[in-house]
Chain A
Amino acid sequence: MSSGKIFDGMPVLAFQRETDRRNFLRWAGRVGVGAGFVLGGALVTTPLATAATDPTQGSSGGDGDLSILNYALTLEYLEAEFYKQGLAANLLSGRELDLVTPIEDHEQQHVKAITATVTKLGGTPVAKPMIKFPDGTFGSRDKFLQTASTFEELGVVAYHGQVPNIKSGDVLGAAASIAGVESRHAAILASLTGGKPFPSPIEDHKPMSFVLDQVKPFISS
């Protein structure tokens, strides 16, 4: 991908609730590189500033695991929808179809499991965002699988980026059990697209800000 970004840097989602959008922007602004994100999506300036001064949204408060789970849930919603649309486009056949079909089911199960976990912890699961992938994402087998490969690698670094931040052992276990499956997806998609299934002996990890810079919200949200 020439831009080096999934979806060529195009916005893909819109939040149904203002709180969800503000949370998303808060995650995106973390770790000191929020400015880059703001440049990429100029819409966010005001909400970001608001969040930064909102004591109920403190970034280091006890809501840490819930924030991480809702962040993961947002990504899983995106992934589930991505495979739903991609498979519906009937671009694959044979062994490739066999290998990609379970991925949609996995992502949907991740959505359910994370939603249940957030609820169990007393939090409010992020509502499913409205999602629109750029035209052409499902225009060909190659584009679908290349995007999927990039998406899965992004998911892997997203989960691993949160490993040291998760406080609850149970949440860590659940997140890790999902992350391992994303690694399997990433390896298979790399092999299907001529990429490297084993790009590094230890999975890379990235902060929320890096990840969310790649899955931008629509201005219309």
Chain B
Amino acid sequence: MLQRDFVQGRVASVPAPMALDALNYRWELAAAADFGSDVDVLNYALTLEYLEATFYELGNAKNLLSGQEQTYLTQVQKDEEAHVAAITATVKKLGGTPVSKPMVNFGNAFASRDSYLTTSFTFENVGVGAYLGAAGFIKNKDVLQAAAGIFGVEARHAAIVGSLLGKPAEGGVYMGAFETPKTKAEVLKAVTPFLASQMGAMPSGGVNTGGGSTAGVEDKGLLAVGGAALLGAAGTAAYVASRRSASEADES
């Protein structure tokens, strides 16, 4: 999928793997290897929340909306920022290291009110599926309560943005009688375009082992941390390999 497809909202009619597959509901746990700990799940969520918060900060600054739409999207931005703050604090409380804010590129998402809301619609529905797909890995009950609480609010966002867009009630505003979980791989397919566009431009050096400490990594390299946290166990090896070869090429 091309990034512009996602950004310009053609996604709803596009690739089967990332379509919001709501009508084929099934409860599935993501692969067991996806998350090793609550901190892993939270850092995965944090990267998504950073993407969302930044998306609305940039989008709302464009003054594409007015009236009730503007009011609603302003609140959505505040919600996502609150999620970032809450998850960051929780990771720290659990003794983990929160991933840093990834660098993002939303392409032409802010070209118009329609493109902005259409991209938002996709983002929110991906977020809903992401939380539901990851919930089964959370062991700490307090963390689970909070994650479920965030999940519900993402569902609210998704419904309202769908409504603003005049989407069909079923299959637009609502995605069936049951929310559909998305695996990490599915979520990655949806959001990697925003991160991957940065990877090629990353400075050499810095992170090369995945989502661990961010100490000493300069800002431009922080994407690697966010990206690697998302990629997690399944994707990190390939990602690191490609980075390593890129880095070696730079150095040679």
Task: Give A residues with C-beta under 8 Å from B.
Answer: 98-99, 101-103, 105-106, 109-110, 113, 156, 160, 163-164, 169-170, 172-174, 176-188, 191, 196-198, 200-205
Q: Tell me the smallest distance from the CB of B169 to a CB of chain A, in Å.
A: 5
Task: Give B residues with C-beta under 8 Å from A.
Answer: 25, 27, 29, 72, 75-76, 78-79, 82-83, 86, 128, 132, 135-136, 141-142, 144-146, 148-153, 155-160, 163, 168-170, 173-181
Interface-centre pick from A169, A180, A203 (highest chain B CB count, 10 A): A180
Residues of B within 8 A of A200 (CB): 153
Residues of A within 8 A of B176 (CB): 106, 181
Residues of B within 8 A of A172 (CB): 135-136, 144
Contact check, B173 vs A197: say whether CB atoms are below 8 A apart.
no
Bound Cα distance A170, B181 (Å) = 12
Given A183-B152, A183-B153, A183-B156, A176 and B79 touching (CB < 8 A)? no
Bound Cα distance A183, B153 (Å) = 7
Residues of A within 8 A of B150 (CB): 201-203
Given A164-B145, A181-B178, A102 and B170 touching (CB < 8 A)? yes
Residues of B within 8 A of A164 (CB): 141-142, 144-145
Given A173-B132, A176-B135, A181-B179, A203 and B152 touching (CB < 8 A)? yes
A interface secondary structure, majority: helix
Bound Cα distance A43, B169 (Å) = 42
Which of B75, B82, B155 has a CB less than 8 Å from the CB of A184? Answer: B155
Bound Cα distance A50, B180 (Å) = 41
Contact check, B159 vs A177: say whether CB atoms are below 8 A apart.
no
Given A179-B148, A184-B159, A191-B163, A203 and B29 touching (CB < 8 A)? no
Q: Closest 4 CB pairs between A and B?
A: A202-B149, A201-B82, A187-B156, A109-B177
Contact check, A198 vs B75: say whether CB atoms are below 8 A apart.
yes
Given A170-B27, A184-B159, A102 and B181 touching (CB < 8 A)? no
Which of A110, A177, A185, A203 has a CB less than 8 Å from the CB of B149? Answer: A203
Which of B29, B157, B173, B177 has a CB less than 8 Å from the CB of A169? Answer: B29
Bound Cα distance A61, B33 (Å) = 32
Which of A99, A103, A163, A174 has a CB less than 8 Å from the CB of B148? Answer: A163
Contact check, A197 vs B79: say whether CB atoms are below 8 A apart.
no
Residues of B within 8 A of A160 (CB): 145, 148-149, 152
Contact check, B156 vs A184: say whether CB atoms are below 8 A apart.
yes
Contact check, A173 vs B149: say whether CB atoms are below 8 A apart.
no
**16 pairs, A vs B, C-beta closer than 8 Å:** A106-B174, A113-B178, A164-B145, A172-B136, A172-B144, A173-B29, A173-B136, A176-B148, A178-B177, A184-B174, A201-B86, A201-B153, A202-B149, A202-B150, A203-B148, A203-B149
Residues of A within 8 A of B170 (CB): 102
